[in-house]
Structure 1
């Protein structure tokens, strides 16, 4: 199954590449629609996730094989120690028997032991059992070590294949995302010189058309975990003017989870990439502000919310 996975992915990537980059026919082929691009992007993301999942399962399997090898090594050490002890006991009894016949055996054997010859035979049998146990442990260790070595090589090869095909998939994903950005319409009120005409708030949500448009686009492009707050009276900045929205990444003034923090990063990045088309004035996120020329640190306002660690703030022209 592991071998079939890269093949299936390669087929999927080839198809994706054909869609994303297009072939070179004599006449221009129609551009893929937004729905087609989104469907292909979703499919590619699933393929990448499956590929990484398969690789991760191999890593887990390798960890188990290494643990089995370590356990076998421990058993071998214990068996070898038992063998050494048994050999010493048998050798000592044999030496005493040779030197002093059976008269000397009671001094090294328990009172209930019976005849010296019988005890020696018993100890010899025990020694042979221990020797066999050591041999079995050595075989087990060898097999476990060989399995771990083979699996290490397999995981290494799989990792290389995963990296190559993941890079290929991510390149295609980036191209599709760029094509999706190209489909984003220019917002209302942009002048030929790139500046923006003022807009009045409208509608029941009391925000401008441009603000409403970017809110809808972000809701469309990202799975938002919490609510979006835009118009807010009695505050400073663009909120009472209907020209700003806060995209919440947590609730109750708490820090966002790692996943939601990364989501906020992506929303901020996407917004800045499209600022010229959408009329974005600036973005505030994680106590930083960006007007389009890079992030600048902001002074500490006190709380998590006031420092914009729990929401992405977007202000519009």
Structure 2
């Protein structure tokens, strides 16, 4: 499959393209608007990335949130235990006061009735001590109840985490089994610790990813994209990746028609042949940026130069595609989001 030739466009369209370029991305011309692939990899591989990846990411989000709650609960438990340790010696003093001073009874009142003023003074003093002692006993009991609740909550979170970790393990096993069928081989992929850090895309209060529709105008085509895809585009632009991009495509399966996928050309204009030199370095750097920020952007998988990355499996190579720059992803980086 050869890359489509770019044709001349009228002056008005050219001005629109220039304006879009200044905004950060090149808008696809009619000749280049068609996405260069159908997810690009073998169909089975694409299905695996879609089904296992989504379940894995959702389970991982639940694990991360559970661990945050466990940390918070453990800190709360530590404070409560410190409070119990501080109150326990005071309860010993309460017992000592009770033994030494006793409590006000009718007998005490009768025995001291000859000196009403002294009796009243003693009664007030004993009453104040009793109130103070009762308060400390109540505080200790409340602290112990709070500690018990914290321990129960931690146990529940640990059980929830273990359940989600089992779900992640199942998804990973299914993905690895399918990868063997398409001849995928684990690789080191494209990773860089110096890649820019992206801003966090919005999540639900429980850490999960909100369901989103294709509700925003796609700045790269005449179609639509989700808010999360728009966020990823903007973060890529902020990081300096402003070459040709095409996102929405009306036909085909998987993420493009849902506004949850984009193809980033390694070249300045359109999708050409294999990327070499500066173009390939651009693709390497973009891929490394996306993978480093996958958890912040809500990425389902990334494909570049006959290799793909998903949170389920990490980096792997693949074979069995079309043998051309489009399906082998040697001229563009494919991004799919949740």
Which of the two has higher C-alpha Rg?
A: 1
Compare relative contact order (CA 8 Å, sep 6+) and give the higher one, 1 or 2.
2
TM class, shorter-length: 0.3 to 0.5
Scaled by the length of structure 1, the TM-score of the pair is 0.41
Higher helix share: 1
